[in-house]
Structure 1
Amino acid sequence: MTVKFCWFNLMPWPDLPDDFKTEHRSVWVDIDGSLFDPERANGVYHEYMDQLEFADELGFDGIGVNEHHQNGYGIMPSPNIIAAGLARRTSQAAICVIGNSIALYNPPHRVAEEFAMLDCLSGGRLVAGFPVGTPMDTNFTYGQIPALTREKYYEAHDLIMEAWTNPDVFAFDGKYTQLRYVNCWPKPIQQPHPPIYIPGGGSIETWDFCLENDYNYSYLSFNGYLAGQTLMDGYWNRVGEMDKSMSPGRAGFAQIICTAATDAEAEELYSEHMLYFFNRCLHVFPGFADPPGYRTVKTIQAGKLDQFRKENQELFKRLTWKDLVEGGYVIAGSPDTVRERMEDMIKRLRVGTVFCLLHMGNMPDWKTRYSSQLFAEKVMPGLRGIWGDEFADAPDWWCKPMDDRVRPEDTMADARRYPEAPKGPVA
């Protein structure tokens, strides 16, 4: 199998003030509305979308977006809007929406419809993510009861999957959603459905859900790959216990990456932006991060805690560039250094998909493109074949686009030519 690389943009707000951590309670839920400038956002959104389109040109396997609400960590409450723009303006990369927080949608059938639209629009390039969602989003912003969130999530999942796979009109009588007529128009190109990725932040029952349904489990953590190994080892132990294929394609990991000409240049270029991210974008009031009932008994018994907990907030205050690099929070340096550490990460965690966080915090556009291009040209090619042919026959948990799909360059050419237009003046 071939390792897949997805260029992922959280879309953080780049103008949080220097005193944000001391003068503001939280970047999430009750963030000060006066810090947001809608006119400034016009340029920020376009810059971020330009970067995602640039990643498609560079040859990344996927370009990724996600959903969050009422925060400066990621100003993307509707990733499907961004994904629709990307589907229209890109040609090759998978459109990875990781994802829609399906427990928040009423009815969840809306996700089935919008994801089907995206799959049709992109020509079968959709990778569909179904996160449970952070408590900041699901419980405090959207008012869902923490102890019921996962139950609502499972019901929403069942409705969406049946909407995609049942060719007939059907009724859905759930505990939280009752619909007399479910008839998903349009249906997705990819059959029976697009590949499903479940992003996890440490809830171990998510492992069984992924394995029972043969979905990809992707661990999204900002504590770095060295700290993430314990959790991923637990996941792979569970894969073995359930007698499932050990193919790395069933796992993904998100990693912050900074590539430069030399290790010293990486620190010079990127350190201020990494510290901005860890000290401002991750500044979450601990009371929002772990409401009673959100974590299940299994997760509590296993000692798995949310990465936004108070202990991490204190740790982030003390982190230096050296701490970030040596601790695996950030993989940074020359192409050779980054390649060596990326190989170590991929093998340690046994992952087949890497969500590459190459823009972080308030990083300016030129640095983002510089790092991304170096990574794409000098790092990524040497990592694709790490797993060789051992799992060649296993599913790759990736999209299957149409060969003859419409591409943006084709539609632009057709619009210029007007081949069927009348030759003379129109009466």
Structure 2
Amino acid sequence: MNVFYFTEQPYPDAWNPEATSLRVTLPNSECDPSVMADLYARYFDEWMLADELGFDLMVNEHHATATCLSSVAGVTLSILARQTKRARLLTLGYPIANRLDPVRIAEELAMIDVISHGRLEMGFVRGVPYELGVTQKSAVGMTDRFWEAHDLILKALSTRDGPFNWQGKHFQARNVNVWPRPYQDPHPPVWISGRSRSNIRDIASRGHVFATFLSGKQTAGMFDYYREVAAELGHATPSADRFAYLGIVAVADTHEKAMQRARILVNYLRTSALVAEPFDNPPGYMSAADSARMMRANGKRTAKSASGKAVDVHSGSIEELIDAGAMFVGTPDEVYEQIAAFDDDVGGLGNLLMMGHAASLSHADTVDNLTLFGKEVLPRLKQRSASRITVSRELEQAGT
């Protein structure tokens, strides 16, 4: 199992409990650049530690918000490409449907892949609905725009015989000829996140890595559907490395200390949905069926627990979130057992996206969280995956 350390690089000083929106409308006068400069330095130090401990690294981007000051993932990735030594570098992701020029995205990603000597993992996302308010794009036709951008980026990265012309519905480009070409041939691996069946079908049909965030026990059904689509299309049975899951992790040498950290980290979930209502669900972003489901759920994002109970990710108790698999909390032994049980539930998890820092968790707590996991949990997870692969190969050989 590969474990990617993740933080959104928040600016917690602006998280006023009485705020009605931490996104889009929050004025940037709430951010002190000198404070944020120190935070950036701290976050890069923590990423460097994670690299040394054997983690891979994940970066995302959001816009006009205090919850995530990684507003240009390419900048962060470029620095990490030069500073880190061994970690795979995942962006999950680049909101390609919102960007004006997919060819420029291809150029950015190719440079990062070359600088890192081929350690880039490309994660493409539609982008969250409320950030359409800070772009020039409409939500109508966003999915079509996403897949056309996807196709253009991959063609730009994989073409080797000189310029080509692209005249699509949403994008037009002449003399596309990416220099330098990516280090990985034909291009770095592609990841895409999602939850809906239509989205999963699109991802599975292309064989990309499918990632889902905080979906708890219902993740098993999503992974199973990916496998069903692959079988339906005649593809090889997807290996565990095609699946990724993001959960929040709080580990400490005692259960009580881990719960103290979890009570800080969970504030990310309590506040991440604070967005001004006009930007919450722009017309056209969701399909009619998905919009109907959202209205029936009264806007709640749920994760199913082991008992089948629907847990509100934004307001559920820490104990409920642990039971649902949205959080992994406890001593190294407890966290290992929780992740191992989740791995079994979903039929094999190749990539754990570990949100090991969020909200106002201190540098000291983050370092301890990373160090304990890296030294006492990560090796066991890797050994578990290696053992699973060995058993699978033995069964295949016995079957022949």
What TM-score range do you get, normalising by the shorter chain?
A: 0.7 to 0.9
1:134–1:289 CA contact under 8 A, matched in 2: no
2:313–2:326 CA contact under 8 A, matched in 1: no
Runs of 5+ consecutive residues of structure 1 not aligned to the other structure: 394-427
| Correspondence for 2:175 among 155, 178, 181 | 181
Cα distance, 1:106 vs structure 2: 1.9
| Correspondence for 1:290 among 261, 281, 296 | 281
> SS at the partner of 1:99?
strand
| Correspondence for 1:104 among 98, 102, 122 | 98
Q: Matches of residues 379-394 of structure 1 in structure 2 within 5 Å?
A: 379-384=377-382, 385-386=384-385, 387-389=388-390
Distance 1:318 1:158 in 2: 38
| Correspondence for 2:48 among 22, 29, 53 | 53
Q: Matches of residues 351-370 of structure 1 in structure 2 within 5 Å?
A: 351-370=349-368
The residue number in structure 2 matching 1:67 is 61
Residue 35 of structure 2 aligns with an amino acid whose one-letter code is: R
Residue 346 of structure 1 aligns with an amino acid whose one-letter code is: D
Distance 1:195 1:318 in 2: 35
> SS at the partner of 1:179?
strand
| Correspondence for 2:335 among 320, 338, 341 | 338
Q: Deviations over 1:234-283 (max 9, x none)?
A: 33333343343131111111111111112122113x13312421222332
> SS at the partner of 2:5?
strand
2:269–2:315 CA contact under 8 A, matched in 1: no
Distance 1:144 1:229 in 2: 34
Q: Matches of residues 20-35 of structure 1 in structure 2 within 5 Å?
A: 23-35=18-30
Q: TM-score, normalised by structure 1?
A: 0.83
| Correspondence for 1:238 among 229, 232, 236 | 229
| Correspondence for 1:327 among 302, 320, 324 | 324
**Is 2:190 aligned against 1:214?**
no
| Correspondence for 2:264 among 273, 297, 302 | 273
Distance 1:391 1:55 in 2: 30
Distance 1:151 1:296 in 2: 13
Distance 1:392 1:28 in 2: 48
2:145–2:170 CA contact under 8 A, matched in 1: yes
**Is 2:84 aligned against 1:90?**
yes
Distance 1:140 1:392 in 2: 50
Cα distance, 1:99 vs structure 2: 1.7
The residue number in structure 1 matching 2:34 is 39
Cα distance, 1:298 vs structure 2: 6.0
The residue number in structure 2 matching 1:310 is 299
Aligned-pair Cα RMSD in Å: 2.4
> SS at the partner of 1:283?
coil
Distance 1:298 1:56 in 2: 42
1:25–1:31 CA contact under 8 A, matched in 2: no
Label 1:166 to 1:18 Cα distance change in 2 as closer, same or farther (>3 A): closer
Q: Deviations over 1:321-376 (max 9, x none)?
A: 33333333211000110000001112222321111111111111110110111111
Residue 208 of structure 1 aligns with an amino acid whose one-letter code is: R
In the alignment of these two chains, the number of paired residues is: 379
| Correspondence for 1:150 among 137, 143, 149 | 143
Q: Deviations over 1:374-410 (max 9, x none)?
A: 11111111112333236679xxxxxxxxxxxxxxxxx
Cα distance, 1:312 vs structure 2: 4.4
| Correspondence for 2:134 among 133, 138, 141 | 141
Distance 2:312 2:32 in 1: 30
Relative CO higher for 1 or 2, CA cutoff 8 Å, sep ≥ 6? 1
Distance 1:154 1:52 in 2: 31
1:258–1:332 CA contact under 8 A, matched in 2: yes
Distance 2:391 2:224 in 1: 20
Q: TM-score, normalised by structure 2?
A: 0.88
1:16–1:280 CA contact under 8 A, matched in 2: no
Sequence identity, in percent?
27
The residue number in structure 2 matching 1:407 is none
Residue 149 of structure 1 aligns with an amino acid whose one-letter code is: M
Distance 1:286 1:335 in 2: 40
Distance 1:86 1:392 in 2: 36
1:247–1:391 CA contact under 8 A, matched in 2: no
1:119–1:188 CA contact under 8 A, matched in 2: yes
Cα distance, 1:17 vs structure 2: 4.1
Distance 1:121 1:391 in 2: 36
